[in-house]
Structure 1
Amino acid sequence: MRLIDWQLAFEQHLLSETSVANSSFAATLLGGPTLDVDTGLAIYHNAYLSRLQEVLRHDFGAIWYWLGDDEFALLTQAYIRRYPSAHYSLRWLGGRFAVFILEHLVAEQSAPLAEMARLEWAFTLAFDAPQGAPLTLNDMAQLASEDWPTLQVILAPSVQQLLCRFNTVAIWRASKDESDFPGSQALNLAQLCLVWRHENVCHYRSLEPGEAFALAGMVTTGWSFSELCAQLVVTYEEGAPLQAVTWLKQWIQDGLLERRVP
């Protein structure tokens, strides 16, 4: 048997649903005085699955908290069989977990659980994202007055946005606090949750509709600061510039924004 064929056979054994090895593959190996071939291959098979599930428990701790040991083990085993690790780094193992949940479970179960998977994966993406060059309050203090009206911004590389239709953030928080499970509930009004890294620490917060509208206008639609103020006049009237400055200051303090380059 060529080396590549043997390696592929070993891979097929690790990815199979059973720990019992193919007899022709097992025949290529020799057992030792205290460990026969079949037992050794079964150990490898089970250890491989166990290691991948350990990674998923780390990346999706809130789902583990939600489902419990047995249900989480069944779900992650099915996921690994459906989407085997295809990258040399286990960092990317959970990239399709939310999609798999939607495929694998009925809609009533899958929708809130997939939203949690997206939230937890957002923390992973935020943590590993490039640093970028977020604006600081000192940058804004040095901005010439004539440049304020045309100021445009984009999100810093680490910022992840998630529209939550369930009390996903409350459940995630309970999992971190190791408090009682609050129960999954649909929100009366969907909320935008931001997850980002600032000064090497991951942060999150939910935005009220007005702030979410303003932030989307600047970073997605491309409003300048003067256009933001004009949009806010409808709701805040004479207080629009103050509200615009207040939100902009908060976004910059949080490390959410970079200056848009023309």
Structure 2
Amino acid sequence: MSQLQQLQHAFMDYLLASAAVDTPPTLAQTTQTFKDKIAEQGGINADIRMQIYANAYRIRLTETLETDHEMLGIYLGDELFERMAKGYIASQPSAFTSLRSFADALPDYLTQDAFFSQYPIIADIARFERRLLNAFDAFDTERATFARLQALPAEQWPGCQLRFHPSVQLFQCNSNAVETWQALKQQASPPSPDYQGKRAWLLWRGESRLTEFISLSEYQLALLLGFIGGATFAEQCEMMLAFFSDAQAPMQVLQALQAWFQMGLIRDIA
């Protein structure tokens, strides 16, 4: 490793140590070694110069959290958001070259933190916003049409499988996190937290490049999970018998497929 690389690594170690709650002794020694290489400039000593960079590092990461989780920030308010940001940065220092992935572990942090875990809706809102980001950032592919399915010979239908667009995301929670997010997005007062019942949502990026989402009923969720998991048309019709009669089950599957093609969820048929 060259001297420049050693200096760069020491600088990064210092930034990580400055954000951590507890600095390991080995990291503290590295920080001191790095400090010895910093010269005073313009009357500003090494400690102050290093602190300027440390502050800038934390500010940039906090800004990333604010950008990625705008509605969560509004829901928490300034004081709690600052508490969350400081705690997350300290426990999950950035290990990525891109800030896009920095907050991926935020929902897990909120679930595990002694304070924030008392309010599960907070982690649910964070997880929903991560799903929105994933849907928006997913790479694009061609989308299949319902006519493609209709053109298949009848004997091939039972064995048909679907391949979904990369932006398709499923979100499940036990709170009214999405309803709360929607209210905040519309600048309305959010409802009180509600943990009465499981909720499911489908998210995707449409052909207009806009991220969309809709709520799912129990059978719609089961149908999507089945097809995403590789189930065939015949297997899904059989599974729908838990929700509908023998005559209704195939029609429900067919209607769902037609809607999915129109929504741009399907990229291919296998």
**Under TM normalisation by the shorter chain, which class is it?**
0.7 to 0.9
User: Cα RMSD (Å) of the superposition?
Assistant: 2.7
The question of whether the paired residues in 1 share the 8 Å contact of 2:134 and 2:167 is answered with yes
8 Å CA contact 1:228, 1:244 repeated in 2: yes
Residue 210 (str. 1) matches residue 208 (str. 2): no
The one of 168, 171, 174 equivalent to 1:162 is 171
Gaps of 5+ in 1: none
- Percent of paired sites with the same residue: 29
Q: CA deviation at 1:234?
A: 5.6
Q: What is the count of residue pairs matched by the alignment?
A: 258
Query: What is the 5 A alignment of 1:113-124?
Result: 113-124=122-133
Deviation at 1:138? 3.7
Q: TM-score scaled by structure 2?
A: 0.83
Match of residue 132 from structure 1: 141
Residue 118 of structure 2 corresponds to 109
2:38 aligns to what SS in structure 1? coil
User: What do the CA deviations read for 1:118-149 (whole angstroms, capped 9, x no partner)?
Assistant: 11111121122222343223423433444333
Alignment-derived partner of residue 6 in structure 1: 7
CA contact (8 A) 2:161 2:269 kept: yes
Answer yes or no: is the 8 Å Cα contact 2:171–2:202 preserved in 1: yes
Distance in 2 (CA, whole Å) between partners of 1:117 and 1:249 is: 32
The structure 1 residue matched to 2:237, chosen from 212, 218, 229, is 229
Residue 193 (structure 1) aligns with: 201
Q: Check whether the contact 1:135–1:252 (CA below 8 A) recurs between aligned residues.
A: yes
- TM-aligned CA deviation for residue 93 of structure 1: 0.3
Contact kept in structure 1, 2:110 and 2:116, CA below 8 Å: no
Regions of 4+ moved over 6 Å: none
2:102 corresponds in structure 1 to 93
- Structure 2 Cα separation of the partners of residues 40 and 206 of structure 1: 51
Q: Secondary structure at the match of 1:29?
A: coil
Q: Name the amino acid aligned to 1:192.
A: A
Do residues 43 (structure 1) and 52 (structure 2) align? yes
Tell me which amino acid in the other structure corresponds to 2:89: I
How far apart are the structure 1 equivalents of 2:230 and 2:5? 52
- Deviation sequence 1:135-171 (CA, Å, 0-9, x none): 2234234334443333221332221112121001111
Q: Is the 8 A contact 1:171 1:182 kept in 2?
A: yes
Which whole-Å CA distance do the structure 2 matches of 1:97 and 1:71 have between them?
Answer: 14
